[in-house]
Homo-oligomer: A and B are copies of this chain.
Amino acid sequence: MGLKKLVKLAAMLAAFVTLEGQMQMSAAKDAADLIVMGRYVVTMDAKGTVIENGAVAIKDGAILAVGPEDDIAAAYDAPETVPAEGRVLMPGFVNGHTHSAMVLFRGMADDLDLMTWLTKYIFPMEGRYVDPDFIRVGSTLACWEMIQGGTTSFVDMYFYPDVIAGVVEQCGLRAVISAPMIDYPSPGFKGWDDSFASGVDFVKRWQGKNGRITPALAPHAPYTVSKEHLAAVAKVAHELHAPISIHIAEDKAELKTIGDKYGITSVDLMQDTGLLDEQVIAAHVVWPTEGDMKKLAGTRVGAIHNPTSNMKTGAGIAPIPAMLKAGVTIGLGTDGAASNNDLDMWEEVRLAALLHKGVATDPTVMPAATALDLGTRMGAKAAGLEGVTGALEPGLRADMIQVSLDSLRLKPLYDVVSHLVYAANSRDVVTSIVDGKLLMKDGKVLTIDEAKLRADIEAVADKIRADLKATAQ
């Protein structure tokens, strides 16, 4: 064999090895179900990593990998791809506290003192209209609004939780659904005994049934549920490994009521009843003392900041920077639409970023990235969903949204996180994915029949409008 032939053979061998290698590389691509791309992938991981021209590979509803789009394309094959189209890809928001079906009371009564609002409007209207059909229609509207606005998980506390769970099963969102328990009569119940028993049954019925639905217990508040009953909830929640959703330290009136009754704070009462040892989603926490903050730090209690609702009802302004400094886990929520009047987490994130700077007269107390964290990663932890959702990281469930940067209102762009917090709004969300499944594509919600929903809303609202006219007279 001459030298030339040898060289030729070597070249052929090298080509074969390279080809083989490429074939092996190709054969070695892992199978994914879906690849989603983003011009900017805002991962909300612990380091706040933002990847330009990135992608996420998804399989069986979970995130397989997050990285530059070229790396993801080289490593994964998927039958479906959602292209970047210049959009942001980020985790969906976690709405840590709402009463979803109350969207049907949106704008029914505003700007009234709390007792007039509750006793003249909310309680009578709930008494007259809240039934399983109201909950079905209201929760469906709420889910439409949350999908459309980029929320992928929510913590709900409202009547007929089985109906809410049915709506959530169908629309595809992730939810912690908590069954209300209260010492007084409420829709469907005479008082504590039956609401408590029903709530415990609800949790047992739904645990393990649907990976997207976490059933929970919801003792309403320290001023509507006795100390003994709170302790009973803590005990059964511990046995069932179920989260608890509750209103805590919402306004000054509660401070006074609990102080007068027990001589302690609502957080002290959580400690005395065993609640501080459980996974608790504590809505509001507007008036914690320094001692309360220390007690909450390091526990599994998440404090849910509802800035719009707390201002609208005149509850006050929670000391969020101090709570974060003390080590309290904070999430964000919209509360029910009757005190908001929408379920728009963009507004809550923006307000969380703005409000505390104004109160402190210090623009450094709440950076944009921190506010966004409260709505996503830390918000997931506050809702008991740490390790499940709230970020784009391998192993987490595939809950994410695409946000269009196309509006001139978002031009020019220097810092994508700044734009998400201070300039974007809910209408910029175009894609929603939960558990790896597309719930919204190009701004159209895929899992809810919008025409039917519109008709259903008006059927309920017609009755309420007639009633309001009579109330006004």
Contact B341 A419 (CB under 8 A): yes
Cα A384 to Cα B309 with chains together (Å): 34
Which residues of B have CB within 8 Å of A351?
Answer: 351, 354
Which residues of B have CB within 8 Å of A415?
Answer: 107-108, 110
Contact with B along A110-125 (1 / 0, CB 8 A): 1111100100000000
Contact A113 B358 (CB under 8 A): no
Contact A458 B107 (CB under 8 A): no
Contact A312 B357 (CB under 8 A): yes
Closest CB in chain B relative to A405 CB, distance in Å: 11
Cα A465 to Cα B415 with chains together (Å): 10
Using a CB-CB cutoff of 8 Å, which residues 270-324 of chain A contact chain B? 307-308, 310-317
**Among candidates B117, B422, B454, residue contacting A408 with C-beta atoms closer than 8 Å:** B454
Which residues of B have CB within 8 Å of A465?
Answer: 412, 414
Known: A113-B363, A317-B359, A361-B316. A354 touches B409 (CB 8 A): no
Of chain B, the residue at the smallest CB distance from A358 is B311
Does A461 count as interface, using CB distance less than 8 angstroms? yes
Of chain B, the residue at the smallest CB distance from A370 is B111
Contact B342 A422 (CB under 8 A): yes
Task: Please state the number of chain copies in the assembly.
Answer: 2
Question: Can you give 8 contacting A-B residue pairs, CB < 8 Å?
Answer: A106-B411, A110-B422, A111-B367, A313-B357, A314-B362, A340-B422, A341-B422, A412-B464
Contact A358 B310 (CB under 8 A): yes
Which residues of B have CB within 8 Å of A114?
Answer: 363
Cα A353 to Cα B341 with chains together (Å): 12
Contact with B along A363-396 (1 / 0, CB 8 A): 1111110000000000000000000000000000
Of chain B, the residue at the smallest CB distance from A350 is B347
Using a CB-CB cutoff of 8 Å, which residues 140-173 of chain A contact chain B? 141, 144-145, 148-149
Please report whether the interface of chain A is mostly helix, strand, loop or mixed according to DSSP: helix
Known: A107-B414, A457-B411. A363 touches B314 (CB 8 A): yes
Interface size on A, residues (CB 8 A): 74
Contact B112 A408 (CB under 8 A): no
Does A403 count as interface, using CB distance less than 8 angstroms? no
Residues of A within 8 A of B (CB): 104, 106-108, 110-114, 117, 141, 144-145, 148-149, 251-252, 307-308, 310-317, 337, 340-342, 344, 347, 350-351, 353-355, 357-368, 408-409, 411-415, 418-419, 422-423, 425-427, 450, 453-454, 457-458, 460-461, 464-465, 468
Which residues of B have CB within 8 Å of A317?
Answer: 358-359
What 18 new A-B contacts, CB under 8 Å, besides A107-B423, A145-B409, A341-B418? A106-B411, A108-B415, A111-B364, A148-B409, A149-B409, A307-B358, A312-B354, A313-B363, A341-B422, A342-B422, A408-B450, A408-B454, A408-B457, A411-B461, A412-B458, A412-B460, A414-B464, A425-B425
Cα A110 to Cα B252 with chains together (Å): 34
**Among candidates B111, B311, B414, residue contacting A355 with C-beta atoms closer than 8 Å:** B311
Closest CB in chain B relative to A257 CB, distance in Å: 15
